[in-house]
């Protein structure tokens, strides 16, 4: 009963691996490695068939909001790169579901952390939420 998004199992596996690796580095070093994002984008070129219009829209949906937040000082450039790479590597709708899920999870957890710690300037690494949003999206489309 899921949506037919024409996303291959190869893409799902590669995105999952990159999101897990990004989560580990983001939690340990508070950095999302740019080479992981590049590897994800390059791996997407191997995947056939590819709807490049939907991939470009996915890239835009992922990259632009996080890039604007990074410019405003409310996030990192690695978040924008990772979100754009996920958008490019998957379908527009799957990227949008992932980012919406990640954003809502992030806001919910941040609200709880701020209430508990009273630290209004608290920032959390975003990659774990991107991985969670990705997994929720996969379950939603199955």
Count Cβ atoms within 10 A of the Cβ of residue 109 and give its class: 0-12 exposed, 13-18 middle, 19 or more buried: middle
Strand, helix or coil at 119? coil
User: Cβ distance 73 to 81 under 8 Å?
Assistant: no
User: Cβ distance 130 to 101 under 8 Å?
Assistant: no
Asked if the model's pLDDT at residue 5 lies above 70, the reply is no
- In degrees to the nearest 10, what's the CA dihedral of 122, 127, 128, 133? 110
Q: What tokens appear for 142 in the block?
A: 């199955």
* Whole-number pLDDT of residue 92: 86
* Whole-number pLDDT of residue 53: 87
* Whole-number pLDDT of residue 123: 86
Model pLDDT for residues 8-63, shown as the tens digit of each residue:
888 889 999 999 999 999 999 999 999 999 999 998 888 766 778 888 999 999 99
Entry pTM: 0.91
Largest CA distance in the chain: 50
Asked if the model's pLDDT at residue 103 lies above 60, the reply is yes
* Whole-number pLDDT of residue 49: 67
**Domain residue spans of the chain:** 9-141
* Whole-number pLDDT of residue 1: 42
């Amino acid at each position: 009963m899921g949506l037919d998004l024409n996303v291959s199992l190869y893409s799902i596996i590669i995105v999952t691996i990159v999101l897990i690796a990004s989560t580990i580095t983001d939690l340990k070093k508070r950095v999302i490695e740019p080479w992981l994002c590049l590897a994800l984008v390059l791996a997407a070129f191997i995947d056939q068939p590819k709807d490049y219009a939907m991939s470009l829209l996915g890239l835009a949906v992922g990259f632009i909001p996080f890039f604007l937040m990074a410019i405003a000082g409310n996030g990192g450039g690695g978040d924008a790169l990772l979100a754009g790479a996920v958008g490019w590597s998957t379908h527009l709708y799957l990227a949008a579901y992932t980012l919406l899920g990640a954003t809502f999870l992030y806001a919910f957890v941040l609200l709880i952390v701020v209430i508990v710690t009273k630290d209004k300037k608290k920032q959390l690494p975003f990659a774990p939420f991107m991985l969670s949003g990705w997994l929720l999206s996969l379950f939603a489309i199955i």
